[in-house]
Amino acid sequence: MDLTLSGKYEALQAEVRAFIREHGHKSPKVGGPRRDPDQKTRDWQKLLVEHGYAARTVPREYGGFGAQPDVLEAAVIADAFAEANVSQGLANQGISMLVPTLLEVGTEEQRRAYVGPTIRGDMFWCQGYSEPGSGSDLASVQTRAVLDGDEFVVNGQKIWTSSAHFADMMFLLCRTEPEMPKHAGLSYILLSMKTPGIEVRPLTTMTGRAEFNEVFFTDVRVPASQIVMSRGQGWHVANVTLKYERLYLGDANKMSVRLRKLVDLLQTTEIDGEKLMALPEYRDRLLRIQGEVMAWRAHQLRLRTEQADGVDSGVKRLIVKYGGTMLLWRMSALAVDAVGAAGLPYDPSETDDATAANLDYMFDIGMIIGGGSSNIQKNVIGERGLGLPREPKTQPAAAGGRA
Ligand SMILES: Cc1cc2nc3c(=O)[nH]c(=O)nc-3n(C[C@H](O)[C@H](O)[C@H](O)COP(=O)(O)OP(=O)(O)OC[C@H]3O[C@@H](n4cnc5c(N)ncnc54)[C@H](O)[C@@H]3O)c2cc1C
């Protein structure tokens, strides 16, 4: 097999490397803290969009670079950034989940209003899906939106809403047709987090940081035009977003970046005067992980190729969230073992390697649950992907739930 790049891709690689040589010093720290992005991060994002290294295939009329999907181009760009240890830009619920949803099922007005500011990092989104009684069984959400003239009036509560404490906007799954069967009674609405009647209460996770929130709605008025598709079609739209959420959470580029960090850690950390990289038990674990990251990357290229060709990837797509988040967690477990006792005086406000390793480890457990827990993912893979019999009826909804 000849894996050398052809002229077109070699030229792109040279172009990206030249860009990084000229501008790389402006990059925020790779894998930096998961917080409200600072000005440096926002400026970097704009520069990447302008040069087509972020939002490359988003059409120009919506603020993107307008390139045709090209799997190898995407891989060449990602590799050049990873090898230089430079940030590949923002990935979040707006950019990675809402933007592709609007491109797939949004109206022209919604795309023009929201895609540009979101990809440039000027507009941040949160996902209003889960409720205290509706997580895996997502279609049972109870937050109500009642049409009053040309506005919806929203009442109810969401929970585990990541980033709601700094988000500008929310994509909300709510019940608009209570008389309909549960999946047919939902709508998907876009609303500003500054609308009167919204209260955000932070929840602290085991990392020690307040990363998600409870969100309460009391008579929140939203223009009816903010609905995506139409009343009762919210379940369909929510599942379009969930499709992109699973790909986002299991993204192979994120793993390549994490692998690089892990290699650096094992090369610089010592026990009894010996580098961890020289110790067979660490090297063995690292090599297994490296093999899986490479396989995951090849899998992602295959999925992107199929997506560009309009092919339904079926079970190959369904394994991404489960496999990707489990692999990320094993990577952070190796980092925790590597930093050892240095991680014990854990303080989430610090940014040293030992803190970062422990923080990633605890955050990554959350990612195994967020976006649909592993149990549910396995049900989905079994039932939808492999055609196995459905769970007995006595169980709560599985593959019909947060899949
Ligand atoms: C870090 C983090 C960030 C999150 N961010 C967001 C966000 O931004 N927006 C948002 O809307 N939500 C968010 N969530 C919520 C997340 O989507 C839910 O936690 C998840 O869908 C599970 O729902 P639940 O917590 O209600 O658990 P439950 O649905 O009550 O499940 C409890 C347990 O039972 C298992 N279980 C349930 N049903 C079945 C079944 N049929 N078969 C087998 N096992 C089953 C589950 O796997 C789980 O282990 C986040 C969660 C985390 C951890």
Kindly provide the b/e burial profile for residues 337-354, where b requires at least 16 CB atoms within 10 angstroms of the residue's own CB. ebbeeebeeeeeeeeebb
Nearest CA to ligand 1 atom 35: 375
211 is catalytic: no
Please report the pLDDT score of residue 87 as a whole number: 94
Give the integer Cα–Cα distance in Å for 11 and 5.
Answer: 9
Residue-level pLDDT at 34: 63
Q: What is the pLDDT of residues 105-128, one digit of tens each?
A: 999 999 999 999 999 999 999 999
End-to-end CA distance of the chain: give it in Å, rounded: 37
Top pLDDT among 348 and 153 is at 153
Average pLDDT on 144-152 reads 98
pLDDT band at 400; cut points 50, 70, 90: very low
Q: What is the CA radius of gyration of the chain?
A: 22
379 in contact with ligand 1, CB cutoff 6 A = yes
| Predicted pLDDT of residue 401 | 53
Q: Number of helices (H) and strands (E), helices first, in the chain?
A: 11, 10
Mean pLDDT of the 81-92 span: 92
How far does the centroid of ligand 1 lie from the alpha carbon of residue 322, in Å?
A: 13
What number is the average pLDDT over the span 147-157?
Answer: 98
Q: Is 125 in the pocket of ligand 1 (CB under 6 A)?
A: no
Query: Taking 90 as the threshold, does the pLDDT of residue 349 lie above it?
Result: no
Please give the backbone phi and psi of residue 86, each rounded to the nearest 5 degrees, phi first: -120, 145
Active-site option among 22, 245, 306, 391: 245
Whole-number pLDDT of residue 32: 59
Query: According to the model, what pLDDT value does residue 2 have?
Result: 63
Domains located in the chain, CATH noted: 7-90 (no CATH), 125-231 (2.40.110.10), 250-372 (1.20.140.10)
With a 6 Å cutoff on the Cβ, whether 127 touches ligand 1 is yes
Q: Which of 136, 209, 359, 367 to mutate to test the pocket of ligand 1 (most atoms within 8 A of CB)?
A: 136
Bridge partners, 109 (sequence order): none
Mean pLDDT of the chain: 92
* Whole-number Å distance between alpha carbons of 41 and 305: 30
| Residue 392 pLDDT greater than 80, yes or no | no
- Higher local confidence (pLDDT), 368 or 345: 368
Whether the Cβ atoms of residue 31 and residue 13 lie closer than 8 Å to each other: no
Residue 399's pLDDT band, with cuts at 50, 70 and 90, is very low
| Contact 165 CB / ligand 1 (< 6 Å) | no
- Our answer on whether the CB atom of 129 is closer than 6 Å to any ligand 1 atom is yes
Q: Is 322 in the pocket of ligand 1 (CB under 6 A)?
A: no
**What's the CA-to-centroid distance between 374 and ligand 1, angstroms?**
9
pLDDT at residue 214 greater than cutoff 90: yes
Query: Using one digit for the tens of pLDDT, what is the confidence trace for 283-342?
Result: 999 999 999 999 999 999 899 889 888 898 999 999 999 999 999 999 999 999 999 988
Exposed/middle/buried for 331, CB within 10 Å: 0-12, 13-18, 19+? buried
Mean pLDDT within 22-44 = 86
* Section 144-157 average pLDDT: 98
Instruction: Report the residue among 130, 171, 328, 363 best suited for mutation to probe ligand 1: largest number of ligand atoms under 8 A from its CB.
Output: 130
